[in-house]
Chain A
Amino acid sequence: MVEQVIMRQDIALDDFLTIFVSSGLVLVFGGLYVGIYTAVKVELLKTWTMPIAYIFWVLTAYCLYLMGSLMHVGEFTAKALVVAAFGILLLPHAVYYMQDQVHQQNEH
């Protein structure tokens, strides 16, 4: 029943630019979050920069929300976007954990 509404509403003309910019920024901010996190972990950056990484993740989540609400996504897509936001949050932790495990095993 909810999914029937999915395409009913037109996107407002003035919203297109915001949609394109925010969805581009999703990955830019997401990339910065992941990049800073990894850089801190491999000691390329100082530890105090870690909160900046998480600020970028918050911006990523906000851009996803903004983009999703302006394009009037249905319930299913909204859920997929929330999953994507948390996926980005977890991704660098998982990647770093695994890389580190392999290095530990091979170098010690």
Chain B
Amino acid sequence: MANKFTGIGSESKQLATWYFTFAAILLGAQLVFGLVAAIQYVMPGFLFELLDFSVARMLHINALVVWMVFAMFGSVYYLLPDETGIETVGIKVGKLLYWIFVAAIVVVVLVYLFIQVGPATETSIWFIHEGREYIEAPRWADWGIVVVALGFVGNLFLTGMKGNRSGIVTVLMADMIAFAGLYLAGMFFTDNITLDQYWWWWVIHLWVEATWEVFVGSIAAYGLIQMIGASRKVVEMWLWIEVAMLFGSGILGIGHHYFWIGTPEYWWEIGALFSALEPLPLVAMFIHVMYDWGKQQGKKVAGGSDESVVANKPAFVWFWMNAFGNFLGAGIWGFFHTLPQVNLYTHGTQFTSAHGHLAFFGAYATILIGMFYLAVQGSNGIKVLKHTKASIWSISLMVGGMLGMTMALTIAGYVQVLVSRAQMGATWAGYFDGQQGMWFAQAMDWRLIMGVVMFLGFALLAKDLLTTGKNPVHER
């Protein structure tokens, strides 16, 4: 493969584009299996006993986690040379690990698809899947992931220590070691389901509501410097404040997952308190982006120019969507069912699903897609990357589709709370009474329609990412 990058860090940036490419393919797979699962809600006979809901959903959420991890690794390899001023140390090992990672994922997916379930033995846990939501990967793959993650963290540390260790790199170094280390909490078997879920949440919560959020903060800082030329001093100081706020509220925010799994009642108070604080950093991140952009644009206007300060339009819109989506999906949709008094009724309903969809998309998918665009700009040597028809339509359709799905799932969740929970208390009959309600059924139809809209948006995104680099509209 010819390397389109030149200068310092060209190898690292090339590896980043490999990571991004596979991430985008997995994003497509995530949407396909999501559509299968959405169809099954509407037509339960669809692919019954061929590709059941459990398998489709496992692929849907695993593709989600893995494409995001790929895009995150890619983002780090992309920004390292810019931040440290040197080529990434151990880039050869990095490239080798990339291929090992890809091969392992292909094997895992094939086993999920064609073996699906195994007998109730340890062997199935080691070689088929672990059956634990989000981290289903079989035990052999767990160890593979540990090796790959160690190699990645090692490269990051060696590069950070050899080159210029900027604030962003320092935060990433600390964050990525926590991110990799936490995975170990999900790698053991226990007969005690309460203990099982206790540690399972260490992985899931401390990833998505702590270490991943800090990662997003670092990427946003890098993006603001690259795209609108924000002052590094301000951005980095702000990053430290965000780290303090995100970890300060997020680490103990894990309490909101410990209300009902058999853990002691004091988690009600801890969970309620820290959940109430969790939206604050998200609001703050939003102000920060607005403030920096306002200041930079203001300077340009004062200098007599009405030109935009933005060097990469699609990426900037996706970063902007990130600030907004994080606040909307993680903030609003998280907060309104998080206090224990109301979570007693909403826990385990489509509310969680609505929140999960909007939060993963708003907080993570958006900014990582923004990074894809930065890589397209870099690999084609473009000075100012502008919008194309496809980029505008893909943003509109993906964001619109996601908001539509979220609204539909929220309505479905509301029906479940009233019928299946508040009145019938989550029995078998209560569950199906809720599912048969007219509002619930309608909501599931709309969810599917909006899922198709989202998929169309993705198709345009893929087209734009592949072709925009050659488009003559950009300034070179």
Contact = CB atoms under 8 A, between A and B. Distances in A.
Interface string B263-305: 0000011001100110110011011101100110010000000
A17 to B, nearest CB: 7
B258 interface: no
A91 interface: yes
B191 to A, nearest CB: 29
B276 A84 contact: yes
A42 B335 contact: no
Instruction: Give the size category of A's interface with B.
Output: 35 or more
A16 B421 CA distance: 12
B399 to A, nearest CB: 18
Nearest to B282: A27
Interface string B185-203: 0000000000000000000
Contact of A77 (B231, B269, B422): B269
Interface string B328-364: 0001110111011110110000000000000000000
Contacts of B233: 102, 106
A99 B418 CA distance: 46
Given A31-B283, A80-B272, A87-B277, A98 B241 contact: yes
A96 B290 CA distance: 12
Interface in A1-59: 6-7, 10-11, 13, 16-17, 19-20, 23-24, 26-28, 30-31, 34-35, 38-39, 42-44
B234 A80 contact: no
A103 interface: yes
A80 B335 CA distance: 14
B38 interface: no
A27 B423 contact: no
Nearest to B273: A80
A66 interface: no
A11 B273 contact: no
A17 B414 contact: yes
Interface of B is mostly: helix
B209 to A, nearest CB: 16
B237 interface: yes
Given A16-B422, A42-B291, A7 B234 contact: no
A87 B341 contact: no
B467 to A, nearest CB: 36
Nearest to B410: A20
Contacts of A91: 280, 283-284
Given A7-B341, A10-B422, A84 B277 contact: yes
B95 to A, nearest CB: 39
B417 interface: yes
Contacts of B237: 98, 102
Contact of B290 (A35, A80, A88): A35
A76 B269 contact: yes
B284 A73 contact: no
B327 interface: yes
Contacts of A30: 279, 283
B291 A77 contact: no
Interface centre among A31, A83, A87 (most CB of B within 10 A): A31
B295 A103 contact: yes
B335 A26 contact: yes
Contact of B234 (A19, A35, A99): A99
A7 B344 contact: yes
| In the complex, the 10 A-B pairs of residues with the closest C-beta atoms, listed nearest first | A23-B336, A71-B341, A84-B276, A27-B332, A80-B273, A42-B294, A77-B272, A24-B336, A102-B234, A76-B269
Given A42-B294, A77-B340, 11 more contacts: A16-B417, A19-B336, A20-B337, A27-B327, A30-B279, A39-B294, A84-B277, A99-B238, A99-B291, A102-B234, A103-B295
